[in-house]
Amino acid sequence: MAVLVGKQAPSFSAKAVKGETIIENFNLEQFKGEKYVVLFFYPKDFTFVCPTELHRFQEELSEFESRNVQVVGCSTDSEFSHWAWLQTPKNKGGIQGVNYPLVADINKTIAEDYDVLAGDLIVDENGDATVEGELVSYRGLFLIDKDGKVRHQVVNDMPLGRSIRECLRVIDALQHFEEHGEVCPMDWEKGADAMTADHQGVSSYLSK
């Protein structure tokens, strides 16, 4: 798997759906210099684990917004599938009420660029293509800073849901570092002591 941390996030322009609106040319460049971005990939619309994550992102959306973070979802489904799922009530397996953009990566190029595409496309010597596995995305999540650089990534296999709490913790750690220049140790939470990036600061932290 490619490690994108420390690199510019791969750019793209694709259709996306927000609420009842289909956006023709959605891209991350619009947030550069203005907002952080959490871009998360999920395998499929109209499934079982995926809506628990999408609903939870919506429930915690105000927490992301208070940190100046734009949440963006992405799967290899079409914009029409996204639209239909967004109009389906929660009690019928839908995600009605989700109000952040869902990108349609129907050509699978975005998932491939972020190296979260499951399955393999194999072309033989005759030019015939076959697919091993299913060309959908793993549960990848990327925290992108305001300069467009990836600062954190995590990829789960399809049966394993993610932790929104951990995502918010990492955002807090990044923003604390940017504001104070202090590094954040294991399990650091907002409001806890951090460490200066020198031996004296480390010794001071460890003595507490």
DSSP string, 98-153: --S-EEE-TTSHHHHHTT-B-SEEEE-TTS-EEEES---B-EEEEEE-TTSBEEEE
Other beta carbons less than 10 A from residue 126's beta carbon: 6
C-alpha 7: how far from chain center:
15
Asked whether 36 and 69 are in contact (CB, 8 A), the reply is yes
**Could you list the pLDDT tens digit for every one of the 208 residues in the chain?**
689 999 999 999 999 999 999 999 999 999 999 999 999 999 999 988 888 999 999 999 999 999 999 999 999 999 999 999 999 999 999 999 999 999 999 999 999 999 999 976 666 677 666 666 688 999 999 999 999 999 999 999 999 989 999 999 999 999 999 999 889 888 888 888 888 866 454 444 444 4
**Is 124 exposed, middle or buried (CB count within 10 Å of its CB: 0-12, 13-18, 19+)?**
exposed
User: Which residues are CB-neighbours of 147 under 8 A, at least 6 positions away?
Assistant: 32, 33
Asked whether 14 and 28 are in contact (CB, 8 A), the reply is no
Catalytic residue (one of 50, 74, 167, 184): 50
Question: Over the Cα atoms of the chain, what is R_g?
Answer: 19
Which domains are present in the chain?
Answer: 14-160 (3.40.30.10), 163-208 (no CATH)
Active site residue 50: yes
Other beta carbons less than 10 A from residue 17's beta carbon: 26
Return the bridge partners of 75, or none: 104
What is the three-class DSSP state of 17? strand
